[in-house]
Amino acid sequence: MRIAPIALMYPKNRTILKKAVIDSSLITHAHPLAIDGAINCAITLSMVLHDKTTEKILQTLIDNNHENYKAKITIAQDWLLNRKSISEKQVIDHLGNSIEAINSTITAIYIGLRFRNHSYISMIKFIQNIGGDADTIAAMAGAIWGSANGMEKLKHSKLEQLESKQKILKLADSLFFIHLV
């Protein structure tokens, strides 16, 4: 859930990205599956920032995971690449919606990729209907959606009410552009 700034800071170097994610995760999420979930989110964000296809992103995740995650990523891959109309209940049943990383990160990745060419609000409504650890799933999926679409496609009146909006935007730009020079 806190990985987006790290993915912005290290968008090109996957080795440094993984190390930073591990260091960040150990503070509160030391379980290996939680760390792997955070790495999956960071890799997804990095690849979305580099405009990689959904197919390439999911194959990269499958190639770099152990069986616990591979099974769920493979399900998401089938759904996304075959453009299946998947219900909220199917997402809950097959990918999960609980607080454990194994039951939330692939859900968030699936939703972020599924809705990356749709409205932000439609994605949030889908997540609300999933329930469970919806705030965490929304934070991760929202970061993926935002990486794919940028601020210009986020049309929501509440955005203008965001406290410290300009400061947040400036920090995000700084993190992303610091390692591109």
pLDDT of residue 151: 77
Q: What average pLDDT does the segment 150-177 reach?
A: 78
The tens digit of pLDDT for each residue in 89-131 reads 999 999 999 999 999 999 999 999 999 999 999 999 999 999 9
CA dist list (Å): 18 to 41, 99, 100, 163, 172: 10, 22, 20, 30, 19
pTM recorded for the entire structure: 0.88
Q: What's the pLDDT score for residue 70?
A: 96
Q: Which residues contact 136 (CB under 8 A, 6 or more apart)?
A: 1, 99, 104, 108
Confidence of residue 177 (pLDDT cuts 50, 70, 90): confident
- Name the residue with tokens 């075959």: 82
pLDDT per residue over 2-13, tens digit each? 788 888 888 788
Can you give the pLDDT at residue 2? 78
Whole-number pLDDT of residue 73:
98
What is the pLDDT at residue 55? 98
The tokens describing 99, both together, are 């607080």
Domains of the chain, with CATH numbers? 4-178 (1.10.4080.10)
pLDDT tens, position by position, 55-83: 999 999 999 998 889 999 999 999 999 99
How many Cβ atoms from other residues are within 10 Å of residue 51's Cβ? 9
Contacts of 126 (CB under 8 A, 6+ apart): 88, 111, 115
CB atoms inside a 10 Å sphere around CB 27: 8
- For 6, the token pair is 């790290």
Name the pLDDT band for 179 (thresholds 50, 70, 90). Answer: low
